[in-house]
Amino acid sequence: MKTIAPSILASDLCDLAKHLPELEREAEWLHLDVMDGHYVPNITFGFPVLNSLRPKTKMFFDVHLMISRPERYFSRFAEAGSNQITFHPETASDIQAAIKAVQALGCKVGLAVNNNIGAETVFPFLSEIDLVLIMGTDAGFGGQSFNEKNLEKIKSVKEKILEENSPALISVDCGVNAQNGKRLLAAGAGILVAGSAVFKDGKPAENLRNLKKDFGV
């Protein structure tokens, strides 16, 4: 699977409902970054935004929780319409239990690897999860540049996935743009989360079409 997931962190939320139909024609996934001001220094949005968007689109809601003790809110995000819930291993008190808790809610589950954390932290769980999310920069802010050291991280995760015959996909978030997308896909990524590159200039559908053409997806 190779696809682009628009990240609404970079969108104008006031215009998002208007753009959803055209985004849905160009993309299957929608990426939603939830930040709590504790695990990361920024604060974004929560259940009300998901509740508002869910009736308006059939897109796959790829929800990335950058929050402390995410187990407290799994059920709320599932109820709000999440299709997949990704959390950072270091934020959960019991990673295995957290994975099972998400699965019990009927959602797919992902583990995120922050910029300053080694990929090996997710290796013990590759047979149980659906996604490994590689952060291209430090979690917490959009519009940052991709740290090239994470290219090797993508390759090492892909190698381990193949070695273990895991069904997990690799997603890359932060700093994805027209210049590096092909290299990220070649390294082993399947889902490219793009925020600023999609929503710049208020023309998300046009930008998304151009990125798809650039990336060959």
Active-site annotation holder among 36, 62, 130, 173 = 173
The reply, when asked if residue 142 is annotated as ligand binding, is yes
What pTM, to 2 d.p., does this model score?
0.94
15 is catalytic: no
Q: How many domains does the chain have?
A: 1
The reply, when asked if residue 214 is annotated as ligand binding, is no
Q: Residue 73: which domain range?
A: 3-215
Q: Domain with 81 in it: what CATH number?
A: 3.20.20.70
The reply, when asked if residue 33 is annotated as ligand binding, is yes
Residue 210's H or E segment, with its range, is helix 204-215
Tens-digit pLDDT profile for residues 107-118: 999 999 998 899
d(CA 176, CA 120): 23
Tens-digit pLDDT profile for residues 162-210: 999 999 999 999 889 888 999 999 999 999 999 999 998 889 999 999 9
Tens-digit pLDDT profile for residues 19-72: 999 999 999 999 999 999 989 988 999 999 999 999 999 999 999 999 999 999
12 is catalytic: no
Give the phi and the psi of residue 142 in degrees, each rounded to 5.
Answer: -95, 170
Alpha carbon 129 to chain centroid, angstroms: 14
